[in-house]
A and B are shown apart, each in its own frame.
Chain A
């Protein structure tokens, strides 16, 4: 039966392959209806696993993929994975249903559902993978499909910007995470997450521990939009609203949370984990909720709200107590319900009134009563208003409770832990303010006449999904223990290692600190909401230049500018410069090697005697070569260079190499003739005035190249390691090759292959010249 787990991940991918065909051949039905069964079936499948999992029978499945590097399709379903799979498939179902009514049939539906199915499969893969590399694979799949979905309306500039930004940031984090995962694999010698947790000691005692933790948290923080990597999420709101509801509130942004929770047993005990995760979580909570208040776009408010809530969950994971983990998991669930419904309502408002700008909206209560009621539950649950039938309140209260109960294990935190509840309350106050702002500005007050469309209630099909989610809000608010035993407890057990007690019953009872904190949030939040016009100018001061978006743009632009500048600096298009780089590198690498390896040797033991005529010829060649450089016209230069060539052939004669001398003579003559042929077409040699600086550099480089090559030649001649094999050729050429000319026997018998390819080179050169001349002529005719 466990093989079903594999097919549950595969199913959305298969569906993604089929969707284009369905779209093509079933034009009468909205493609969404054909896609809908997939998430429903998956949801039912995972629902059926609840008894197994809560009974402690986790499902494990391994399919060999690349066993030689430990990369196997290893899937593991425990409480935490189950919670996430239920969220993914459950909200996936609702989102697909919602999208059927939200997206017009004229849209490119095949694209939409293909991307959505890829995303769903990838997300299931992320939460079910036990193998770190498979986890990473699916992780990048979610980044990719999110990129595609954000850029769904690709003709809009903002969509492309948002898609690109989210891609850059999440892939940056994903790559860091890969680094961390590889380090983990090296440390523990296994690729399975569960086996890593078992060999926790070798990770904690490793010198790479800090680096590994930082890299992995970087992945988790970028994906889960933690400060300062939260900036991609508000820009991702350019996606269609079902996508925002699904990816950017309920599932994908929780992948980082999932990763932190999954590796909690590995890193949980360390101070660094506590400081980083708690610190950044609280910072994100406060900053996100603070920024949400200033937004004027409904979806932007929700985006910053998501950031802040994710920060809250992250902070709870950072607290690391059993209750905190439980509360985090509870809030993951709650946030998915109310944030999903709020996004859908924002979509409905957009769809039915034509705008998402909160300044243009108002008084929709009477026009859209059902949506307004749903929004009321959603926003109040998000704000954590202390009403017994809202699930957001329960988890918010547990958050306060855990914040006040942190046992200061870390020495540094000993002094600072008092600030944690303060920050928690601060963040929650702003959460309250923007929640109220969201609800009252949209649905209460006077209705405005500026709307293009006359607002009206949405069709029932569109309302079904938010109704279902709001039902969850209320049902879990009333009966929290309904999901406690089957879902939350196993999930906490999977994260923390032990099964928690019934913590959720704490929501009622005597007046305690968390309740007082909640009341303080409500009172202060109401005050702030009513006076918000008076302090809204604070926003001009605080994000100001400190905005992370500005930093991103500056980094991006600066990076482009810097690379352009760098490229323009060395890619000048001048061949002269490129040759300069090549020679400089040659001299530097060769020279350094000579010095470092002490490779220079000089010995005169194996030197032949030199005769006067040879010296004379050498001097002639040297003078001619130097003179060539100073020649004022081309003909003179080539004629003097000819002297060098003839001198060389004479040297060949001196050194008893008649074949070489013959060839050298012919080649030299032909070269001179060819040069003369070309010169007719060339302009007069212009004596370009070069600055003395350039001249000096050129002289230095050419001299150093000459010296280096000379030194290398001397060194290699002075250190003969092996006997020459020339005797073999001399002895055997008559016998084996049937010839007395040893050079020619080598060329055509002993090593004929070289000769063949040199003939090929000459043939190609001839063809090339012919082609260049002929083709150019034809072009000139045009």
Chain B
């Protein structure tokens, strides 16, 4: 692997990490729960990118599943949290 590519992946990883730290600040600080939910969702996106960069860095295709999975899960999780915040329940009971 060329030095340039390695340096770039490194830089990307570090930038991503800083991004996660900043998101963490938002997740902890709040001030409201929707703020936190968005922060968590964005952390998920950052995980996707970090996993992708790591796959390049480690020269493997084994992590591609993880990338897809994080995508789905963060979506589900965010929807669930959003629904909870809005209505208090995640799964509605049947209305009859």
* Real binding pair: yes
Residues of A near any B CB (own CB < 8 A): 612-613, 616-617, 619-620, 623-624, 627, 631, 633, 635-636, 639-640, 642-643, 646, 649-650, 653-654, 656, 658, 661-662, 665-666, 669, 672-673, 676-677, 679-680
Task: Mark contacts of B33-72 with chain A using CB atoms, 8 A cut-off: 1 yes-contact digit, 0 otherwise.
Answer: 1001100100110010011001000101011011001100
A-B pairs with beta carbons under 8 Å apart, 16 shown = A612-B17, A613-B17, A616-B20, A616-B21, A631-B28, A635-B84, A636-B30, A639-B36, A640-B27, A643-B43, A646-B40, A653-B54, A658-B66, A666-B73, A676-B80, A680-B84
B10 to chain A, nearest CB (A): 8
B6–chain A nearest beta-carbon distance, Å: 12
Residue contact A643 to B73, C-beta cutoff 8 Å? no
Dominant SS among interface residues on chain B? helix
Contact of A639 among B17, B33, B89 (CB under 8 A): B33
- Beyond A649-B47, A650-B50, A673-B80, whether A624 also contacts B27 by CB under 8 A is yes
Q: How far is the CB of A639 from chain B (nearest CB, A)?
A: 5
- Is B63 a contact partner of A658 (Cβ separation < 8 A)? yes
B5 within 8 A of A: no
Cβ–Cβ contact B13 & A639, under 8 A = no
Size category of the binding interface on chain B: 35 or more
Q: Is there an interface contact between A640 and B36, defined as CB atoms closer than 8 Å?
A: yes
1/0 per position for B70-96, CB-CB distance to A under 8 A?
100100110011001100111100000
- Contact at B90–A639, with CB atoms within 8 Å? no
Contacts of A650 in B (CB 8 A): 47, 50-51
With A636-B30, A640-B27, A646-B43 known as contacts, the answer to whether A616 contacts B81 (CB < 8 A) is no
Bound: A623/B24 CA distance, A: 8
Contact A620 B21, CB 8 Å, known A649-B47, A665-B66: yes
Are B77 and A662 within 8 A (Cβ)? no
Alpha-carbon distance between A643 and B27 when the two chains are bound, in angstroms: 9
When distances are taken between beta carbons in the complex, the residues of chain B under 8 Å from A654 are 54
Residues in A with CB closer than 8 Å to B76 are 669, 673
Q: A677 and B40 in contact (CB under 8 A), knowing A617-B20, A665-B70?
A: no
Which residues of B have CB within 8 Å of A624? Answer: 24, 27-28
A642 and B77 contact, Cβ closer than 8 Å, known pairs A636-B36, A656-B58, A658-B62: yes
Confirm or deny: B8 has a beta carbon within 8 angstroms of a beta carbon on chain A. no
User: Which residues of the partner chain B approach A635 to less than 8 Å between Cβ atoms?
Assistant: 33, 36, 84-85
Residues of A within 8 A of B84 (CB): 635, 676, 679-680
A608 to nearest B CB, angstroms? Answer: 14
Q: How many angstroms between the C-alpha atoms of A669 and B66 in the bound complex?
A: 14
Q: Given that A653-B66, A672-B77, A676-B84 are known contacts, is A639 also in contact with B54, CB under 8 Å in the complex?
A: no
Task: Determine the chain A residues whose CB is within 8 A of the CB of B69 once the complex forms.
Answer: 662, 665-666
Q: Beyond A612-B14, A613-B14, A665-B66: 14 further Cβ-contacts under 8 Å?
A: A613-B50, A616-B18, A620-B21, A627-B28, A635-B33, A636-B36, A643-B24, A646-B47, A650-B50, A653-B54, A662-B65, A666-B73, A672-B81, A673-B77
- Report how far A619 CA is from B81 CA in the complex, Å: 25
